[in-house]
Amino acid sequence: MEPVIDDQRLKPILEKVERGERLNFADGVTMYRSSDILSIGYMANLVRERMHGDITYFNVNRHINPTDVCVASCRLCAFGKRAKDPKAYTMSLEEVWHKAGEGYSEAVTEFHIVGGLHPELSLDWFCQMLRGLKERFPQVHLKAFTMVEVAFLAQRAKISIRETLRKLIDAGVDSLPGGGAEIFSESVRRIICDHKIDGSEWLKTAQTAHELGLKSNCTMLYGHIETDEDRVDHLVKLREVQDKTGGFVTFIPLAFHPDNTALHHIPKTTGFLDLKSIAIARLMLDNIPHVKAYWIMMTPKIAQIALRFGADDIDGTVVEEKIYHDAGATTSQGLRRGDLLRLIREAGRVPMERDTLYRPVERTETAFTVLV
- Please report which helix (H) or strand (E) contains residue 77, including its range: none
- CB 232 to ligand V47: min, Å: 18
Contacts of 355-360 with C-beta under 8 Å, sequence gap 24+, read 355/59, 355/109, 355/110, 355/141, 356/59, 356/61, 356/109, 356/110, 356/141, 356/143, 356/174, 356/175, 356/249, 357/141, 357/175, 357/215, 357/249, 358/57, 358/249, 358/289, 358/290
Which residue is closest to ligand V47 by CB?
A: 179
| Residue with smaller CB distance to ligand V47, 23 or 130 | 130
**Alpha helical stretches, state H, 53-122:** 93-100
Q: Residue 85: which residues within 8 A CB-CB, separation 6 or more?
A: none
- CB 293 to ligand V47: min, Å: 11
| Residue with smaller CB distance to ligand V47, 17 or 99 | 99
- CA pair distance 169, 95, nearest whole angstrom: 22
| Residue with smaller CB distance to ligand V47, 13 or 292 | 292
DSSP secondary structure string for all residues of 155-169? HHHTS-HHHHHHHHH
- CB 148 to ligand V47: min, Å: 7
- CB 118 to ligand V47: min, Å: 15
| Residue with smaller CB distance to ligand V47, 57 or 256 | 256
- CB 69 to ligand V47: min, Å: 15
| Residue with smaller CB distance to ligand V47, 7 or 259 | 259
| Residue with smaller CB distance to ligand V47, 48 or 63 | 63
- CB 266 to ligand V47: min, Å: 10
| Residue with smaller CB distance to ligand V47, 97 or 256 | 256
Main-chain dihedrals φ then ψ at residue 57, nearest 5 degrees: -90, 150
* Residues at the contact surface with ligand V47, assessed by CB under 6 A: 76-79, 146, 177-180, 182, 217, 219, 221, 252, 254, 256-257, 261, 294, 315, 323, 327
Q: Over 305-331, what HEC string results?
A: HHCCCCCCEEEECCCCCCHHHHCCCCC
Strand partners, 20: none
- CB 256 to ligand V47: min, Å: 5
